[in-house]
Amino acid sequence: MSHRLRAVVATVLSLGLLSITACSGDSATDPSAEPASGDPSAGTGVEAKISLAMPGPNSYFSPWELAVADAAAKWGFEGTYNVPASDAFNLTQQNALVDSLVAQGYNGFGMFPGDANGTNAQQQKLADRGIPSININGCTYDPSPALFCVSTNVYEAAKYQAEQLIDAIGGEGRIAVLTSQLTDPNTQLRIEAVEEAVDATDGAVVLDQVVADIDTPQAAPPAINALLASKGDQLAGVMATSWYPSVAMAIALTDSPEYRDIVFIGAENSEQVMSALENGYIHGTLFQNTYGQAFVASYVLKRVIEDGCTVNPNAPFDTTPQTSKLLTADVLVVTQDNMADFAGKPESLPDDTERLLELVDQDVLVCS
């Protein structure tokens, strides 16, 4: 890896993006570190039963299970991570799951939206019953019944990732983007962000292909193999914005040395991606604070349900094309230089988690 690329890719994105060092301990945040809290003495008398409910299975979200368990143990409520028993990933089965959980007495939901618009209807049903919800890792379009959205600013993160790829290939050449389902509320934002970064090169870089709807273990490998077979000798760089395309591309570059002149920046911390990074087959991978977003959302739901807290209408949320209520989590590009701090640990940025907790207690929650 060139010194230039290392310098570029190791830069920490500041979108709110912090300079973050390492994960430590078995849990992704320090359970002994208490955030500043409002007075919960005037509680509601209601016990929180919180679900982090998914539209379907995806390994990227596996840190949510640990996050809600850690939050439940720390603050004393019942919390679970729930995924439909299906290989599909869609709003219909997420709605059915949530309806079933409500019938079982769950009274707070953290949700990755099954649809950027359609999830609002389900969350309105919950709100009409006095059940709060928070969008995690992805937002719905305003007006949204959710309390707020805690997520990476996916547009800015994807633009940054594309800019780093463009710089790494020398500012010219053809690139491809591997991304997730078009029904994912983040996907179109990421594509638009990459297009903006490419447009800024005034034609020096060409977005040759966007390969979407491949964020499943079944769809990603053949799509990547087809891309490399048809355009592997034409592409200067490739970036992936989601889990399974990153895994498939890391495997392809590991198994096929003839394609290793393609600069690849992946996403997340799968075993295959981290191994390829360690061996120098890929240049970097983008971490999101997946654990921290779920941990903080679980805490907020607990405070709202049990302590009667509300969301400050003047909270310092960020605004995106989707929502005016974004609590922005940080990201970090992991390279060979710093991967020892992250390999084999939960996908989390603990300093960012503590920052989010402090921000919630100081500026987001209003508790009597």
Tell which residue, 283, 300, 284, has the closest CA to residue 292.
300
Low-confidence ranges of the chain (pLDDT < 50): 1-37
Nearest-angstrom CA–CA distance, 166 and 4: 12
Whether domain 49-153+289-330+341-366 has CATH 2.40.50.140:
no
Task: Write the pLDDT tens digit of every residue in 57-73.
Answer: 998 899 999 999 999 99
What does the radius of gyration of the chain's CA atoms come to, in whole angstroms?
20
Asked whether 316 and 260 are in contact (CB, 8 A), the reply is no
Strand 49-53 to 78-82 pairing: parallel
Q: Which two tokens stand for residue 185?
A: 């509320």
Strand partners, 265: 239, 284
| pTM reported for the whole predicted model | 0.80
Separation of CA 71 from chain center: 18
- Exposure string of 201-223, with b = 16+ CB inside 10 Å and e = fewer, is eeeebebbbebbebbbeebbbeb
* Predicted pLDDT of residue 346: 65
Nearest-angstrom CA–CA distance, 266 and 13: 15
| Residue that has been written with the tokens 């709202």 in this structure | 304
Same fold, 3-12+154-284 and 49-153+289-330+341-366: yes
* Residue 130 CA: distances (Å) to CA of 109, 117, 148, 300, 305: 12, 21, 15, 15, 9
Tell which residue, 167, 171, 116, has the closest CA to residue 146.
116
| Domain limits, the chain | 3-12+154-284, 49-153+289-330+341-366
| Residue that has been written with the tokens 């959302």 in this structure | 297
Instruction: Tell me which of 3.20.20.540, 1.10.10.10, 3.40.50.1010, 3.40.50.2300 is the CATH number of domain 3-12+154-284.
Output: 3.40.50.2300
Strand 365-366 to 310-311 pairing: antiparallel
